[in-house]
Each structure stands twice: as structure tokens, then as C-alpha cells.
Structure 1
Amino acid sequence: MANQRKIERLYTPTEQPGFLGAGHLARPVIQGSFAQTDPFIMLMDDILDKKDNEPAGGPHPHAGFETVTLLLEGSIGDENHKMKAGDFQMMTAGSGIIHTETIEEKTRMRLLQLWLTLPKKHRWTTPRVQDMFNEHVPVSNTGGVQLKLYSGSMSGLQSPVKNYVPVIIAEVNMQPGSESKLDIPSNFNAFIYVLQGEVSIGDEKRLVKQDQVGWFDIQYGSQLSEIKVQAGITGSRFVLYAAQPQGDAIVSHGPFIGDSSEDIVRLYKEFRQGKMQHISTVDEELKMKY
């Protein structure tokens, strides 16, 4: 019998003004030290209600980690690369790249963007980008529960997305009162973020409500553990993130992650000297589409 996972920490992220200006609200979903949240560095819930046609966003650098984007509503990007609701992207910044995220017109948009560490041995790997379109996301529908699996394997589904850090990312939509069991490795750090409704967890029925984050206890061993979920009377929609901790300390500054402060100084120098290429210019075999 699989070990039951329990909610260990519960909180509600505070909404704050976003960097894109008027109409942009952001919630820092991940809180606590990296030692607690490893391998998850940061997760932002960005909500944008843009009322004008002035371009927002633009090119910016990243290095030393992966950005993992799930678009929940609206669209983002330009004619070269556009994401729509339900699309998913995992971009490996690795040794350093320039990335462009643009919003050029009036729009309502919501996206979750995760910063995921890279294992120390792959910190400076060659950049690559993986795009999965909504219509190709592996899906199961059982007993009033829809599971969309973007990364990893779970409940008989397998995502084609390649991982440096073993990571499961799933969106779960539950009809009112429905129940399910989600299996993840015991030693994966894991949390859920509720987008709509509420869900109770485990035999103790710990309630996680809309806009709340629930972190699970972490256990030893690589065997599967079980998360029992039951939707409330209005149903539930939540995202599950679960991944293997890497145990490597990191240094974070601006758009860069490194193993030391010397790494950060070097990355800023390389960026200023124009040594980082745009992600759109990487070799075609490093642009994977699913």
C-alpha cells in the first residue's frame, strides 16, 4: 500500500503589482528558503488585464536554470512564437540565452511561470526549448476527474517533455464531489496551487481553497506515494508540481542562477558583451515541439 502524503504547509500568496505596469498583478506562489523548496526556485502567477495597445515585455537574459511556463488564459508572444491557453513551454537557459516575451495588444492573460533549478553537472548545458501545444497534452478523464500531464509520468500517462530534473507538472480539473488518487515518488518535493474551487487532501480531509498553496510532507525512498484528493461542492481546478530535490545550493541574482557569486559576475559580463544568443537562433534539433 502506498504511503499517504499529507499537507505540511498551507498559505495564501499575496497579490502585488506586476512589472508590466497597469493591469498586471502577480502572486509569488513559492515561499520559503530554497532548502525547503528545492528544486523549485520561484513560481509566479501573473494575471494581466491590458487595456491598451502599447507593447509590454521584451527581450531579457536567463542562465543557470529552466523556465517552465503554463499559459492558463489568453495568449502571449509574437508571430515568431505564440502561446495560447493550455500551451506549455520548458526553456533550458543553461549556459545563457536571450528570451523574448511580448504582449502587443489589448488582452486578458494568466500564466504560471516556474523557475526550476538545473542539476549542478548540467548548470551550463546548451540552451534548448520545448513547446507542447494544448491539443497534444496527454489527458485522462475518469470518474469526473480530468488530468492533463505536462511533464513526467503519472496515472498511466507519460509526457514526451525531456527533463534534467525529474519533474511532474499536472493540471487537475475535478467535478463537484469527485475523488482521485495521484501517485508521485515518495522523495519528490510537491505542492498544489488551487486555481478554482477547493479540494480536500488525505484521510484527514485538509482543505486547500482557491488561491491557496499546499505543500506536502516529503518522505524517503523512491517508491510511489499517494495523494488522495476530493473536490468540494463547486468542483476544483488545481496544478500539481512535484520534483526530485537536487541538494545543490544556489546563488540567485536578477535573471541568473549560479553555484557561486563569481558565476553571477561572469554571467552579467557575458550578457553585456553580447555573448548570449537569442533562444530563437539555437540549432533546430534543440527546438522541440510536441
Structure 2
Amino acid sequence: MTAKKLEELIVARPSSDGDGVKLLRVFGGAGDPARFDPFLMMDEFGSAEASDYIGGFPPHPHRGFETITYMLQGHMEHQDHMGNVGDLQNGDVQWMTAGAGIIHSEMPKQTEGRMRGFQVWLNLPAHSKMQAPDYRDIPSASIPEYAGAAVSGKLIAGRAQLDGELLEGLVSRPDTEPVYLDLHFDKASDTHTIEVNDGATTLIYVYEGEIALGEQGSRVQRGKLARMSRNGSRIDLRTLADNTRVVVLAGQPLNEPIVQYGPFVMNTRQEIEQALDDYRRGVLAQTF
């Protein structure tokens, strides 16, 4: 079993989106997007200051990909043009397939206290970009959990192994076969092995604590993302702090052209122009 190697270390950078929501852009929006394929973007939002999040994300369109919102703490409401209303609270997940087009909003339902979570954008293959939009509200209680020796986790999507034990997430998706794990390591100086498919794009984001990766012991601190090589299937990880928490993303590259303009991700510039025209004419979010 070949070990994956660290190829890039990325520092999450302060940014804002929606109506002034402050967040950390973990990756996306800069450089060559193909190196993250099939993932497009990851944001971490988190603040105890209501002014950092109260503006929320008013109605806006998407086409051509999926969004996965994972709420660690807080209360946010989703609404879309199809009449869906989602009530995201601690530990809940919203899995939205924009497909041919969706117009939705994500607005805070709290005026004080901490709000924290992640949003990941997952690409769709060319043959699925114009499928009917879909929305799935996933309550925390329905997400499988793992409890091992000094490690626990929430298994949102896909299949992987942790220390030789199979982890099966709740959601499975064709083509990209995404893995989405939230792992909590209790103690410093513990060693663990994560296994994913050979050839998969694999990303590890540390949002609490610190880890060391591989034989080189490359240090990855809180707020940094490790992009691993696609070759290999094994990730060797050692915790360097108590209560270390990481998000593990893995997926099969689509190896298709990626053309993005704001909330639209297609394969050609012409398809982007069509999305813009459809939105201007009010036909982007048609009823299927």
C-alpha cells in the first residue's frame, strides 16, 4: 500500500461573502482549480460576533455543481425557489445539487452567540450539470458516527478506512465518489492511518490543533490545508496537540475543463454566457 505524499500546504485566508459574512477561504478562487478536482472551494465560517455573520447569504443563483454546508454550531435557515426550507442547527448538513439552476438563500436564525461551520463546493460532471436541482436536509442524528480509541468522527459521505476499520458515510454520489469526514483526535502523539482510493484527490484541513503527515513529519497547524498526492492510498498522520480536529475530503477527479464565473461552474465559456443570460431572463431556475 503506497503512501500519499504532501504536495501543497495552503493557508486559509480571510475573506467575505454574501452580505458581508466574514470567513476563511480554505481553498478556491485562486490558482489552478484542476489541482482540487473534483472540489471547487471550501470555506470555514466562524465567529461569536453577530456582526460577522448577521447579513447572511441573501437570494443568489448557482448552476453546475453541488454545495455541502456542515454546521458545527449555530442556527441558519435555507430557502430556495423550489419551496424547500431547511433548518440547519448544530451538526446538521445541507446537501444541495444546483444542477441546471437553483436560487436560494442561507440566513442566520440567531442574533447572538457563536456560528461556525464549513461550506464545500463539489463539481458535477458535464453530463450532470443540467440535471434537475435537488436539495437534501440531513439532521445530525442521522449522520453515522465513529467512536474508536482516542478518536471519533462524523461520517458525512463516502467510504474510507481509519486504522484498518471501514468508515461508511451517509451520502454517496456517482462520478466524484466524495469522502467527507470530520475526525476528532483526543490526544497528542497518537499515530493513525487513513486509507482512501488510489488516484483520489485528497485534502486534509486542520481546524483545531496540529498534525504531522507522512514520513517527513510535515507539520500542519490550525487553519492550514494539506493537499496530498493522487498517487497512493495511505495517509500517515500523527497528532501534535490534544483535541485535534480535521476535515478529510477525497474524491475522484473529473478531468474536465473547469470554467467558473462567480456562482456558475461549467465546462466552456459559452455555457457560462448561457447561464448569465438565463439568469438575466429569469429562466435559470425553471421548474422541472
TM-score by length of 1: 0.86
User: What does residue 286 of structure 1 align with?
Assistant: none
Q: How far did 1:60 drift?
A: 1.1
Q: Is the 8 A contact 2:94 2:138 kept in 1?
A: yes
Counterparts of 2:44 and 2:152, CA distance in 1: 22
RMSD of Structure 2 on Structure 1 (CA): 2.2
User: What does residue 285 of structure 1 align with?
Assistant: none
Once structures 1 and 2 are overlaid, which stretch shifts more, 59-68 or 258-267?
258-267
Counterparts of 1:104 and 1:58, CA distance in 2: 13
With over 3 angstroms needed to count, the CA separation of the structure-2 counterparts of 1:78 and 1:97, relative to structure 1, is closer
Q: How far did 1:51 drift?
A: 4.3
**Letter matched to residue 262 of structure 1:** Q
**Corresponding position: 1:139 with 2:145:** yes
1:183 corresponds to which of 179, 183, 195: 195
**Letter matched to residue 77 of structure 1:** E
User: What does residue 58 of structure 1 align with?
Assistant: 58
**Letter matched to residue 24 of structure 2:** R
**Letter matched to residue 135 of structure 1:** A
With over 3 angstroms needed to count, the CA separation of the structure-2 counterparts of 1:27 and 1:51, relative to structure 1, is closer
Figure out how many residues of one structure are paired with residues of the other and give that number: 273
**Letter matched to residue 169 of structure 1:** Y
2:180 corresponds to which of 145, 151, 169: 169
Q: Is the 8 A contact 2:90 2:140 kept in 1?
A: yes
Q: How far did 1:9 drift?
A: 1.0
Equivalent residues in 2 for 1:273-284, closer than 5 Å:
273-277=281-285
TM-score by length of 2: 0.87
Q: Is the 8 A contact 2:75 2:89 kept in 1?
A: yes
Counterparts of 2:142 and 2:37, CA distance in 1: 29
Once structures 1 and 2 are overlaid, which stretch shifts more, 131-140 or 74-83?
74-83
C-alpha distance after superposition, 1:204-260 (max 9, x if no partner):
22211111111111117xxxx111222123231010111100000121112111121
**Letter matched to residue 46 of structure 1:** F
With over 3 angstroms needed to count, the CA separation of the structure-2 counterparts of 1:152 and 1:43, relative to structure 1, is same
Identity rate of aligned residues, in percent? 27
C-alpha distance after superposition, 1:40-63 (max 9, x if no partner):
111112234314997643211100
3-state SS in 2 of match to 1:234: coil
User: What does residue 5 of structure 1 align with?
Assistant: 4
**Letter matched to residue 180 of structure 2:** I
Counterparts of 1:251 and 1:78, CA distance in 2: 27
1:103 corresponds to which of 105, 108, 119: 108
**Corresponding position: 1:219 with 2:231:** yes
**Corresponding position: 1:267 with 2:275:** yes
Once structures 1 and 2 are overlaid, which stretch shifts more, 87-96 or 28-37?
28-37
Q: Is the 8 A contact 2:178 2:249 kept in 1?
A: yes
Once structures 1 and 2 are overlaid, which stretch shifts more, 76-85 or 58-67?
76-85
C-alpha distance after superposition, 1:171-191 (max 9, x if no partner):
010011333211101100111
3-state SS in 2 of match to 1:35: helix
2:207 corresponds to which of 190, 195, 204: 195
3-state SS in 1 of match to 2:67: strand
Counterparts of 1:202 and 1:162, CA distance in 2: 28
Q: Is the 8 A contact 2:150 2:186 kept in 1?
A: yes
Equivalent residues in 2 for 1:47-86, closer than 5 Å:
47-48=46-47, 49-51=49-51, 56-77=56-77, 80-86=85-91
3-state SS in 1 of match to 2:27: coil
User: What does residue 288 of structure 1 align with?
Assistant: none
Q: Is the 8 A contact 1:130 1:161 kept in 2?
A: no
Once structures 1 and 2 are overlaid, which stretch shifts more, 254-263 or 235-244?
254-263
Q: Is the 8 A contact 1:145 1:180 kept in 2?
A: no
User: What does residue 136 of structure 2 align with?
Assistant: 130
Gaps of 5+ in 2: 80-84
Counterparts of 1:251 and 1:245, CA distance in 2: 15
Q: Is the 8 A contact 1:145 1:179 kept in 2?
A: no
3-state SS in 1 of match to 2:209: strand
**Letter matched to residue 281 of structure 2:** Q
Gaps of 5+ in 1: 283-290
User: What does residue 29 of structure 1 align with?
Assistant: 26
Q: Is the 8 A contact 1:52 1:105 kept in 2?
A: no
Counterparts of 1:256 and 1:72, CA distance in 2: 27
Counterparts of 1:230 and 1:209, CA distance in 2: 12
